[in-house]
Amino acid sequence: MSREENNVVEIPRGDVTGFTKYLKKDLISGFMVFLIALPLCLGISLACGYPPIAGIFTAIIGAVLTTFISNSELTIKGPAAGLIVIAIECIEDFGGDGMMGGWSDADMTAYQAALAVGVAAAVMQILFGLFRGGILGEFFPISTVHGMLAAIGVIIIIKQFPVALGVSAGGEPLEMLEEIPHYIMEANPAIAAIGIVSILIMFFWPFAGKRVEFLKKIPSPMVVLIVTIPMGLAFDLLHEHSYTLQGHKYQLGEQYLVKMPEHIFGMFDDVTTPDFSALRQLKAWKWAMMFFIIGSLESLLSAKAVDLIDPWKRKTSMNRDVVAVGVGNLCASWVGGLPMISEIVRSKANIDNGAHTRFSDMWHGIFLLVFVALFPTFLHEIPLAALAGMLVYTGYRLAHPTEFIHVYRIGKEQLAVFMTTLVVVLATDLLIGVAAGILLKMVIHVANGVPIKSLFKPYIEVQEIDDNTSLILARESAVFSNWIPFRHQIEQIGLVQKRNLIVDVSDTKLVDHSVMEKLDEMKRDFEQEGLTFEVRGLVALQPLAKNIHAARKSGLATMRRLTIVADADLEPWLQQKIIELGASGYTSQPCSGAGRSDLENGGVATTSKVRIEVVMPDAICEGVIKYLRQDVLPTHRVMVSVELVDVVRRDHFDLLETEVDAVQHH
């Protein structure tokens, strides 16, 4: 994708030159993203309790406006599934019902109040970015954020599944979860057929793309529309009528289709302004804070994730991106749009389709504007169940089973934080769930020996190694809650002063999972600037799990000590096999004695023996024991014993641990 000329890598930029030079690539990618965004914007908007056109307004404004404010080259701005839960709860708190019974005056009042909340949140975002608050996205522990997103995914599935079945339903997530068997019994068969087909396409189309190459280019949401719009026409959803199946009478009609303007350019008739009188109510500011905090956090995380997969490794200014999102939200909320963020799924599709600059985002918005303005009747034929099916899959992606497995492998304490956040969000709301996850994380840190005084303040000492290199000695702890000032020191000493940096954490009580990942991110930042960044001292700490990013704490590490007593002539053979099986070393000493069989035969003379001791991790010890049982014990008289011992330095006995540390250093 990038090319090299005279050993200089050409990096595309979203300027005047880039606009013309990469026009074709950005135009094609913008069109492909438009195909994905069109149904998702409609579905997300409806799931939020907003009119379907609101999502289109947001995507258009986000694409056209933020392109010229943010320096993020490949992120796509628009409505996102992660904000559905906040939006629909805000609508319901102001008296709306998510249009379950059609579009009523109460729904319009709640909608206009939510728009005013969106404007207030947007102003907060703009100020947040202008005062360089983007760094606060670094505060939230990774397991808590993932738990929040997984909970959002579960809520989306629970809320959208009844819609996919043609059933009107509402209530708290856990209450609705109990009612799922009832929803299935009450399903409208025709609508449920559309919803189930949509879900199946979303789940299985990626597998078809792996088998047939050209199918990869067709987005699964567009396949859903290609299949379900004819299904809706076959069921004659454009006209009110009923049908009977197995003695039950079911209604069909336009209430199961997306409500859209009826004429060309009719979308502009649906522009709706906020009702700012709603901001006089205290609850409005609660929702403004929710939109501001969760929306900003999601946007920052998405922008950082896109930077990592950018083929040219371009770096987004997070403060500038937050300002861009805030300005986009201000304009979108002022005309009736949803809140927007930097959206990860469409951004990934943008990259996969060959986008080079930020203008691909702009083109996707222009395609949306032209299509929705000129062909509103086509959108009216989209079944709501089809959009619900897409969102069920989106929710599944957020709460994917592999996410639980991944968190467990990083550490049991991470799974506890993840699950606590998820369950509390389901039982209460997002802010309380996130707060519960953060509180549990701090309790675990204190239990692992972190002094309370260092939870929010890093204790560091800076030394100069030479003219180009500095050393930061970290004391007490390096955890998520003191990472922001810690990171500030790293950036000031290394990136600002253009110095190579060594961070020594050997004297800390704990380096948590969030900081382990962020240290890796810092290494990439330094490499982009042509500098080196080295983390020392990790081998002096004990990992809480086998994952490379697992938290590490000071203290003794539990290992196994294997003792083998065998005939002296077996010594070279046993020593060689033990090393081959992964042991980092052994001790061996001659001895003498008599075994049980010698004593039973009346012998009292001792024979020449060797005593071999090996300290090793569980996995290697199991391998050695297996070898001894299968290949040694059946033919030789050997005594084997195993005991647990505590060691000061795990890496002295674990070759794998040493290799992992070497990878992190170099």
Sequence-ordered alpha helix ranges (H) in 399-493: 401-410, 412-427, 430-447, 483-490
What type of residue is 2?
Answer: S
pLDDT, one tens digit per residue, over 18-33 is: 999 999 999 999 999 9
SS (H, E, C) 49-77: CCCHHHHHHHHHHHHHHHCCCCCCCCCEE
Single out the residue of 136, 150, 140 nearest to residue 421, CA to CA: 150
Relative orientation angle of helices 618-627 and 571-580, to the nearest 10 degrees: 140
Count each helix (H run) and each strand (E run) in the chain, helices first. Answer: 25, 16
At residue 572, the pLDDT reads: 92
Going from the C-alpha of 284 to that of each of 49, 87, 90, 121, 349, the distances in angstroms are: 16, 12, 8, 10, 35
Sequence-ordered alpha helix ranges (H) in 509-617: 513-528, 571-580, 596-600
CA-CA distance, 110 to 46, in Å (whole number)? 14
At residue 30, the pLDDT reads: 96
Single out the residue of 13, 112, 48 nearest to residue 340, CA to CA: 48
Report whether pLDDT(625) > 50: yes
At residue 211, the pLDDT reads: 85
CA-CA distance, 133 to 128, in Å (whole number)? 5
Residues in the chain: 666
Q: Per DSSP, what are the bridge partners of residue 341?
A: 78
The alpha carbon of 415 is separated from its chain's Cα centroid by a whole number of angstroms, namely 14
Q: Strand pairing of 500-511 and 533-536?
A: parallel
Of the chain, the percentage scoring pLDDT greater than 90 comes to 73
Sequence-ordered alpha helix ranges (H) in 310-399: 318-335, 344-352, 359-374, 376-380, 384-398
Please give the helix or strand (H or E) that residue 252 lies within, else none: strand 248-252
pLDDT, one tens digit per residue, over 76-129 is: 999 998 899 999 999 999 999 876 667 888 999 999 999 999 999 999 999 999
pLDDT range class, residue 5, cuts 50, 70, 90: very low
At residue 604, the pLDDT reads: 59
At residue 657, the pLDDT reads: 53
Relative orientation angle of helices 344-352 and 359-374, to the nearest 10 degrees: 110
Report whether pLDDT(515) > 90: yes
Q: Strand pairing of 557-567 and 8-9?
A: unpaired
Token pair of 253 as six digits: 């009609």
CA-CA distance, 296 to 519, in Å (whole number)? 22
pLDDT range class, residue 656, cuts 50, 70, 90: low
pLDDT, one tens digit per residue, over 293-351 is: 999 989 988 998 898 889 998 889 999 999 999 999 999 999 999 999 999 889 999 99
pLDDT range class, residue 665, cuts 50, 70, 90: very low
CA-CA distance, 634 to 530, in Å (whole number)? 59
Evaluate whether 572 touches 550 at the Cβ level (below 8 Å): no
pLDDT, one tens digit per residue, over 202-212 is: 999 998 888 88
Q: Give the mean model confidence (pLDDT) for residues 572-580.
A: 92
Report whether pLDDT(622) > 80: yes
At residue 534, the pLDDT reads: 94
At residue 528, the pLDDT reads: 85
At residue 133, the pLDDT reads: 81
More confident call, 103 vs 598: 103
Evaluate whether 321 touches 70 at the Cβ level (below 8 Å): yes
Single out the residue of 364, 302, 299 nearest to residue 129, CA to CA: 299
CA-CA distance, 528 to 245, in Å (whole number)? 65
Q: What value does the mean pLDDT of the chain take?
A: 90
Domains plus CATH for the chain? 13-403 (no CATH), 452-553 (3.30.750.24), 557-647 (3.30.70.120)
At residue 125, the pLDDT reads: 96
Evaluate whether 562 touches 624 at the Cβ level (below 8 Å): yes
At residue 2, the pLDDT reads: 44
Report whether pLDDT(650) > 70: yes
pLDDT, one tens digit per residue, over 433-487 is: 999 999 999 999 999 999 999 999 999 999 999 989 999 999 999 999 999 999 9
CA-CA distance, 406 to 420, in Å (whole number)? 16
Evaluate whether 342 touches 77 at the Cβ level (below 8 Å): yes
At residue 662, the pLDDT reads: 43
Report whether pLDDT(603) > 50: yes
Evaluate whether 332 touches 62 at the Cβ level (below 8 Å): yes
Evaluate whether 433 touches 422 at the Cβ level (below 8 Å): yes
SS (H, E, C) 353-378: CCCCCCHHHHHHHHHHHHHHHHCHHH
**DSSP three-state, residue 108:** helix
Please give the helix or strand (H or E) that residue 469 lies within, else none: strand 469-478
Single out the residue of 425, 418, 515, 405 nearest to residue 144, CA to CA: 418
CA-CA distance, 215 to 55, in Å (whole number)? 27
pLDDT range class, residue 134, cuts 50, 70, 90: confident
pLDDT, one tens digit per residue, over 242-271 is: 999 988 999 999 999 998 887 788 888 889
Evaluate whether 499 touches 487 at the Cβ level (below 8 Å): no
pTM: 0.84
Place of tokens 């939006």: 87
- 185-222 in b/e form (b: 16+ CB < 10 A) is ebbbebbbbbbbbbbebbeebeeebeeeeeeeebbbbb
